[in-house]
Chains A and B, each alone.
Chain A
């Protein structure tokens, strides 16, 4: 990892983000800018803490708002100021911070920022060239603008859940806050393109990001198909409309704990022949019907049965090694331990260790991209709630020590 002297540490030097967003999407987006030198200030409050501050994992027995590794994951490299926005003077402090900011992000239910006097119109009055990005569930306008949710449920609205499952069973969805990992990138791309526009023109703007709309992008051609033909894609298990065999097959117990599975995806005829050869299936090799994808798709029940019989006699290590050696796409269905220990991710130094006074030493994800010339330095640990309140109030908002103390006494800031 480069030192802080690397240009990667300074890409967003001088850019300050007043980050009112919470939970996954907004904080994940602003963290990528914090990694490269943006001063990202999380505006928080113990009266309404970020949901992830109450989440886990956390050191045993520590229920405090500073003990959540889940929160730490999304907030490395940032500062935290604790402002009670529900207090009558909360908006006053927030406005002083906004006056110094280049970017304002928020992900409250639409209407909240207006109610506390921080609408885009007001924010722009304070800082005319500000870029403000709202990242709500379904956008700022429309009959469902106030509807609530989070990534676990929004993926259902956004169509992902309905295509995740077995055709003979109810859909299951992804079991993670899936749409978070989609909407966050539309947020990053939108904010950074707006910042580029401002750099050229001096003009700021307002971005209304609907996580629902952004998330439909990953439905591939599903939505455009329904809109123009009325066809509705459904769940296929692990099967594919173009490729066969294509599935996740059981392997023998390798005594590492849990069940073990291998994914195999035959995407062309060469791979098919290699698979059949490795499996020593002369009948498959000699079958004219199986020599192209159409024939294999028609026969996939039998193919899956044959592959299952073959994989279940071997460990996942053996199958993975054997098939990759001949160029057949195959990989274990990694569980979280496999991902943590994966040699390729280790080669990329993907998991970045961070020490934290409450959580201790733990590793967190890094960006899935590597920049050759401007890698970021290892980020500062995530902040304790309100850790930078004095800095923000005194240095940025311009309050005197007496005024800051008074705000603390009144419960406006923590």
Chain B
């Protein structure tokens, strides 16, 4: 195994069998130096066919490049006895296994936690599923959208006159994956104590249920069912506007009391001649009792809206923050790529992807002084077969690293 990195997790090996729900967890561990081995079916993992693509063809997935950065790849057919045995042998010396099959599916291949517990007692076996390993919904059909709605978050998202919403990128899968990463790290420290690995059962529904802020507490304590409020934050039964249009897009601003005097100063400095009584609004909470009338709030918001409408989002961000007003631009993905802050911190890095060539990719999500994050490209299917499978128990000729992806015809899992 490669020890070239001094990443914080460089002694550890991770076997990655996840589908879309788990890929981000092992990507983070790879960035921190773990040796993450992506197990793909012969022909390549189905998500290699998942868009967006960087080229016109169907074999240039940026999704794959993002979610598998820094991993290695071996190809194994888990429906084949010999390959299953190869995987079992790899588990004997691995530290983590991440999988996201339906409960029982790995056991049906002889690769469940119960099957490996004696053979690989050190192995931390992380299962990531929509609802968890057991229980009345554990076998329910699911997707990212089901994760959003089953945890309750969607009920807080969207315009009141339309359906509850999810963000249009697969948040529930990714939030769940990050939770799985945290759980795996706790299990690693537990292994230092007990000398053994264990089974870690991660639920997407539970992960999303933990994003409800204080809304569920308001139900349990006061019986209030908080509902979605459009571009606003619902505090129990009152909502406070967050999203405002500006000259070239939108900004996010919350009328917290501490901001009101600074907002007044800022508007004055910009020549806007604000009419609202800053001292009075600075003493008014945005939730609770004794709130101003709806008319008063509407009048204030309309004045703020008029001010924002005259300026662009990035300019409002720079000048508002200069006055310590908590305002943020509603950034597009392109705004993020162009962000002066991210670029000043060298967030984006260039990698030479073996399939896609030079790519500009998001880099370290945290900066560690002694064990820096490493940004590396995603692997080709089976690129590391020779390295990992050479001590295979079988005499069968090993699959060679594959340079061309045949179309498997399989729907993404």
Closest A residue to B125 by beta carbon equals A372
Shortest beta-carbon distance from A151 to chain B in Å: 9
- Cβ of A391 to closest chain B Cβ, rounded Å: 25
A225 on interface, CB distance cutoff 8 Å: yes
Contacts of B364 in A (CB 8 A): 213
Of the candidates A178, A213, A261, which one forms a contact with B163 in the assembled complex, judged by CB atoms under 8 Å apart? A261
Q: How large is the interface on B (under 10, 10 to 19, 20 to 34, 35 or more residues)?
A: 35 or more
**C-alpha gap A278/B161 in the complex (Å):** 28
Is B261 engaged at the interface, CB distance under 8 Å to the other chain? no
Contact A339 B151 (CB under 8 A): yes
A102 in contact (CB, < 8 A): no
Q: State A370–B412 Cα separation when bound (angstroms).
A: 28
Apart from A56-B214, A73-B217, A176-B233, what are 10 other A-B pairs with CB-CB below 8 Å? A70-B213, A70-B214, A138-B341, A207-B367, A222-B169, A238-B163, A329-B140, A337-B219, A369-B203, A373-B198
A8 interfacial contact with B, CB 8 Å: yes
Q: Which residues of the partner chain B approach A193 to less than 8 Å between Cβ atoms?
A: 8-9, 32, 185, 368, 371
Interfacial chain B residues near A169, Cβ < 8 Å: 159
B-facing residues in A12-47 (Cβ within 8 Å): 12-13, 32-33, 36
A50–B301 CA distance with the chains assembled, in angstroms: 27
A363 near B220 with CB under 8 A, answer yes
- Tell me the smallest distance from the CB of B207 to a CB of chain A, in Å: 4
Q: Does A397 interact with chain B (Cβ within 8 Å)?
A: no
Top 7 nearest A-B pairs (CB, nearest first) are: A368-B206, A339-B152, A347-B135, A205-B370, A369-B183, A156-B252, A226-B333
Judge whether B336 is part of the interface by a CB distance below 8 angstroms.
yes
- Residue A303 interfacial (CB < 8 Å): no
A162 at interface by CB-CB < 8 Å: yes
Name which of A143, A152, A366 has the most chain B CB atoms within 10 A of its CB. A152
With an 8 A cutoff between CB atoms, is B36 at the interface? Answer: no
Interchain CB contact under 8 A, B142 and A329: yes
Number of interface residues of A (CB under 8 A): 159
Pick from A8, A174, A216: contact of B153, CB under 8 Å: A174
Instruction: In the complex, identify which listed stretch (A78-86, A87-95, A229-237, A400-408) lies at the interface while the others stay far away.
Output: A229-237
Please, which residues of chain A bring their CB within 8 A of the CB of B183? Answer: 367, 369, 371
Q: Are B252 and A220 in contact (CB under 8 A)?
A: no
- Chain A, range 55-74, C-beta contacts under 8 Å to B: 55-59, 69-70, 73
Collect the chain B residues with CB atoms within 8 Å of residue A205's CB.
368-371
Known: A193-B185, A208-B366. A232 touches B243 (CB 8 A): no
Contacts known (A212-B342, A223-B336, A368-B206); A329 close to B243, Cβ less than 8 A: no
A96 within 8 A of B: no
Distance of B366 from chain A, by nearest CB (Å): 5
Interchain CB contact (< 8 A) of A338 among B152, B321, B334 = B152
Interface pick from A111-119, A180-188, A294-302: A180-188
The answer for the CA separation of A115 and B59 in the assembled complex, in Å, is 53
Residue of chain B at shortest CB distance from A347: B135
Q: Which of B28, B220, B341, B411 has the most CB of A within 10 A?
A: B341
* A–B Cβ pairs within 8 angstroms, 22 of them: A10-B193, A12-B189, A152-B242, A153-B252, A159-B336, A160-B171, A189-B32, A196-B189, A208-B367, A216-B336, A221-B169, A227-B362, A237-B163, A261-B164, A336-B218, A338-B152, A339-B216, A343-B135, A348-B203, A368-B209, A372-B198, A373-B199
Residues of B within 8 A of A3 (CB): none
Let me know if B198 and A374 touch, CB within 8 A.
yes
- Set of chain A residues within 8 Å of B243, measured between Cβ atoms: 156, 161, 170-173
Q: What's the dominant secondary structure at chain B's contact region? A: mixed
Contact segment of B264-272, B323-331, B380-388: B323-331
- When the two chains form their complex, are residues B340 and A143 in contact, meaning their CB atoms are under 8 A apart? yes
Q: Which of B165, B188, B242, B250 has the most CB of A within 10 A?
A: B165
How far apart sit A364 and B231, CA to CA, in the bound complex (Å)? 27
**What mask results when residues 105 to 129 of chain B are scored 1 for a CB within 8 Å of chain A, else 0?**
0000000010000000000000000
Indicate which residue in B66, B236, B347 contacts A220 across the interface (CB closer than 8 Å): B66
- Give the CA-CA distance A85 to B252 in the complex, in Å: 31
- B54, B163, B359, B361: the one contacting A248 at CB < 8 Å is B163
B285 shortest CB reach to chain A, Å: 8
Decide yes or no whether B374 CB sits under 8 A from chain A: no
B146: min CB distance to chain A, Å: 5
Contact of B328 (CB < 8 Å), options: A153, A164, A220, A362: A153
B141 touches A327 (CB 8 A): yes
A141 touches B345 (CB 8 A): yes
- Among listed B173-181, B291-299, B394-402, interface-contacting one: B173-181
Segment among B70-78, B222-230, B273-281 that sits at the interface with chain A: B222-230
CB pair A225–B141 under 8 Å, yes or no, is no
Say how far A171's CB is from chain B's closest CB, in angstroms.
6
- The answer on a CB contact under 8 Å between A348 and B242 is no
Residues on B with C-beta less than 8 A from A7 are: 190, 193-194
Contact B146 A263, beta carbon cutoff 8 Å? yes
A160–B242 alpha-carbon span in the complex (Å): 14
Residues of chain A lying within 8 A (CB to CB) of residue B232: 175
Nearest CB on A from B412, distance (A): 7
Given the contacts A197-B8, A217-B24, A371-B200, A248 and B156 also touching, CB distance less than 8 Å: no
Q: A344 within 8 Å of B by Cβ?
A: yes
A362–B220 CA distance with the chains assembled, in angstroms: 7
Interface residues of B in 228-268 (CB under 8 A from A): 228-236, 242-243, 245, 250-254
Q: Is B170 an interface residue (CB 8 A)?
A: yes
Residues of B near A395 (CB, < 8 A) are none
A267 to chain B, nearest CB (A): 5
Interface residues of B in 293-332 (CB under 8 A from A): 317, 321, 324, 326-332
Contact yes or no, A141 B199, CB < 8 A: no
Q: Is B406 an interface residue (CB 8 A)?
A: no
Given the interface pairs A148-B321, A176-B156, A330-B141, the reply to whether A57 lies near B218 with Cβ below 8 Å is yes
Contact digits for A190-224, partner B, Cβ 8 Å, 1 yes 0 no: 10111111011001111111101110111111111
Q: Is A332 interfacial (CB-CB < 8 Å)?
A: yes
Cα distance A402–B52 in the bound complex, in angstroms: 67
**B166, CB-defined interface residue at 8 Å:** yes
